[in-house]
Amino acid sequence: MLPIGTKLPNFDLPVVKCTNSSQHQPGFNLDRMSNSSLGEKPSLLMVLCAHCPFVKHIENELTNLEKAYGERIQFIGIASNSLETHPQDGPDQLALQAQLNDWKFPYLLDLDQSFAISLRAACTPDFFLFSDRSNHGPDLIYRGQLDDSRPGNDIPVTGKDLRSALDAVLEGKMPANEQKPSIGCNIKWHPGKEPNWF
């Protein structure tokens, strides 16, 4: 896992945007987002995709979280799965996923997977909370799971681990030292290009 205190890696990635919110059509256009696009709010980076059952299991909770914290936390989705092997996670599908779940946050396309590698992201979903606590740029203060719920384990989705981290940063505190790694579907790396830390 990426060490706590790591600076937010540089990124400059295209953003999926829905263009037809009235008829649930997956139209999209592409702008870009980078570090310089971020304001002073803490940033929650969420490694997601359209097809993963672990992501689908928590989609509604992500909607709830954005509604509860979105004015104080910058939410950012990141899609890093290889489109060579998993075209079902392409821009059309991401735009439709965001639209159906009423997500307002930017959804970035990490097409060469370099951002996922710089985050040491391992699965979908995976969560990384950065906050500028020293006026020297955002530092990683949480990386781990949403909560203990998984598809089929009958534990309700509450977002308790991530909510606790978000509450802590908004109160000017550090999240708990014990941070459980996220569990989900492995990121689908481009064939032959799996990171050497796997």
Write out pLDDT tens, residues 68-93.
Answer: 999 999 999 999 999 999 999 999 89
Structural tokens at position 108: 């970035």
Q: By the 8 A CB rule, do 139 and 130 touch?
A: yes
d(CA 96, CA 165): 29
pLDDT value of residue 31:
85
**pLDDT band at 30, cuts 50/70/90?**
low
**pLDDT band at 1, cuts 50/70/90?**
confident
Q: By the 8 A CB rule, do 11 and 108 touch?
A: yes
pLDDT value of residue 39:
85
Output the CATH code of domain 12-186: 3.40.30.10
Say whether the peptide bond before residue 14 is cis (omega within 30 degrees of 0).
Answer: no
Residue 22 scores a pLDDT above 60: no
Write out pLDDT tens, residues 121-140.
Answer: 999 999 999 998 666 678 99
198 or 92, which is more confident:
92
Of 40-49, 106-115, 187-196, least confident by mean pLDDT is: 187-196
Structural tokens at position 99: 């639209």
Residue 180 scores a pLDDT above 70: yes
